Amino acid sequence: MDLVANNLSYKPDDQYHLNEVSFNFKEGNLYTILGRTLSGKTTLLKTIAGLLTPDSGEIEFDGKNFLKIPVWERNVAMVYQQFINYPHLNVFENVAFPLKQRKIDQSVINEKVMDALNSVGLVGYEKRKIQELSGGQQQRVSLARSLVKNAKILLLDEPLVNLDYKLREQLRDEFKNLFSKGLADETILIYSTTDPRETMELNGEVIVLDEGKVLQVGPAKEIFENPNSLKVAEISNDPPMNIIEAKISDNQIRFEGIDVEAPQHLSKLTEDGLKIGLRSSDIELNENGHEFEVELAEISGSETLLHLKRGYTKIIVSIEEVLNFKIHDKVKINFKIDRAYAFHADGKLASSPFGGLNG
């Protein structure tokens, strides 16, 4: 039972929320929609759920025209980024709600609800009011409510974004467990997120969305290794990939007075307007390196993000330890240049260290 969309467009105001989006989702698979805020992720999920009607395009599910089926008959489940539950019902009643709606036998409901609560680790909380739960627990309740239905299509709209760091990690692991147990082989799981790490960890098929347009589709590894454009490289890396305007000549990459020997996959690119892309993790501090000035140093978790500047070139370096720097400090860095990407002036990938479009 495939979910197939053809040229979905939705333009409620002067901006496209969806712009000619097409996809073919197969049952039993996990699809991650990766995009920045306002890229159209929620719009896409709501369109699949049936809460929005696109201006043009088609959605078919199981060979049937999905757009003609009202939301309440589609058998989809959705978890919102805000923790949406029914405030007037307790935990048990919340999870039981979709089943009661189907007029299922009470004993079957009890069993299924307890199963669902068990899989999200909320057994013992049945009688609690929703308002008495923490954010993470509230999100578990809405996850349980979406699992209990055995829906053919499960939509998760940035389910972890409003949780604090620790809970997010924990719940993400539980999600992975749930997903890998195979929810049910016939479920299509669609997960939207702004977080590249989450995308890589979930390791599903990735759809990169920007301004309502699909930029690239492929397995997480492929998106990471061979982003087809500058935009995708920015969206799929956190911090975004460093982009350096450089020139390659005589087998040297030249920018800001620095000459770096070009690796083999870049050496033949000599065009104008070339942009070199290098992940923040592919730059390291090195006594014998090139001098940059510190503009800002932020410590995030156990990482230090260094914002550096040299001439007009600004880069971000991530270091796997907590270090203290003062603004205007001089640091010396080295580029792991064999891991550099090159993009044409129009933003298209020119060459990647993983073999995409080797120049």
Partner 1 sequence: MNKLYIFLKYFFIVVWTVFVVAPFLWALTTSFKDFQSVNGGVTYIPWVDFEPNLEGWKVLIKSPAKGGVDIIEPYFNSLFVTCTASLISIILGTLSAYALSRYTFKAGFVKNNDITFFFISQRIMPPIVLSIPFFLFLSSINLLDSLTGLIVVYIVLLMPIAVWIMVDFFNKVPREIDETALIDGCNPYQAFLKVVLPNSIPGLIVAGMFCIIFGWIDFFFAFILTFTEVQLLPVKIVALNSSVTPWWSLSASALVSVAPLIIVAFIVERYLSKGNLSGAIK
At how many degrees (to 10) do helices 135-147 and 106-119 cross? Answer: 130
The only residue of 17, 112, 140, 149 in contact with partner 1, by rule CB under 8 A: 149
Check binding of 257 to partner 1 (CB under 8 A).
no
Q: Are 81 and 161 in contact (CB under 8 A)?
A: yes
Number of chain positions touching partner 1 (CB under 8 A): 27
The only residue of 10, 19, 44, 46 in contact with partner 1, by rule CB under 8 A: 46
Beta bridge partners of 218: 206
Question: Cis ω on the peptide bond leading into residue 70 (within 30° of 0)?
Answer: no
User: What count of other Cβ atoms lies within 10 Å of the Cβ of residue 123?
Assistant: 11
Q: Tell me how far apart the alpha carbons of residues 126 and 108 are, in angstroms, rounded to a whole number.
A: 16
Q: Tell me how far apart the alpha carbons of residues 109 and 88 are, in angstroms, rounded to a whole number.
A: 19
Check binding of 270 to partner 1 (CB under 8 A).
no
The only residue of 34, 77, 241, 316 in contact with partner 1, by rule CB under 8 A: 77
The only residue of 22, 26, 28, 71 in contact with partner 1, by rule CB under 8 A: 71
Q: Are 319 and 285 in contact (CB under 8 A)?
A: yes
Residue 133: CB minimum distance to partner 1, A: 12
Q: Which two tokens stand for residue 49?
A: 């759920």
**Nearest Cα to 315, choosing from 346, 338, 288, 336?**
336
The only residue of 41, 145, 172, 279 in contact with partner 1, by rule CB under 8 A: 145
**Which of the stretches 70-78, 170-178, 280-288, 297-305 binds partner 1 when contact is defined by CB under 8 A?**
70-78
Q: Are 157 and 192 in contact (CB under 8 A)?
A: yes
**Which of the stretches 33-41, 75-83, 224-232, 351-359 binds partner 1 when contact is defined by CB under 8 A?**
75-83
CB nearer to partner 1: pick between 76 and 244: 76
CB nearer to partner 1: pick between 67 and 294: 67
Residue 128: CB minimum distance to partner 1, A: 14
Residue 127: CB minimum distance to partner 1, A: 17
Residue 84: CB minimum distance to partner 1, A: 5
Q: Tell me how far apart the alpha carbons of residues 117 and 133 are, in angstroms, rounded to a whole number.
A: 14
What's the distance, CA 344 to chain centroid?
A: 25
The residues in 78-137 that bind partner 1, with binding defined as CB under 8 A, are 78, 80, 82, 84-88, 97-98, 101-102, 131
CB nearer to partner 1: pick between 161 and 357: 161
The only residue of 21, 34, 59, 76 in contact with partner 1, by rule CB under 8 A: 76
Residue 254: CB minimum distance to partner 1, A: 53
Query: What distances in angstroms separate CA 76 from CA 109, 149, 347, one per listed residue?
Result: 18, 8, 37
- Mention every residue, 6+ apart, whose C-beta is less than 8 A from residue 68: none
Q: Are 270 and 249 in contact (CB under 8 A)?
A: yes
Q: Which amino acid is at 91?
A: V
The only residue of 1, 4, 51, 294 in contact with partner 1, by rule CB under 8 A: 51
Check binding of 183 to partner 1 (CB under 8 A).
no
Tell me which residues touch partner 1 (CB under 8 A): 46, 49-51, 70-74, 76-78, 80, 82, 84-88, 97-98, 101-102, 131, 142, 145, 149
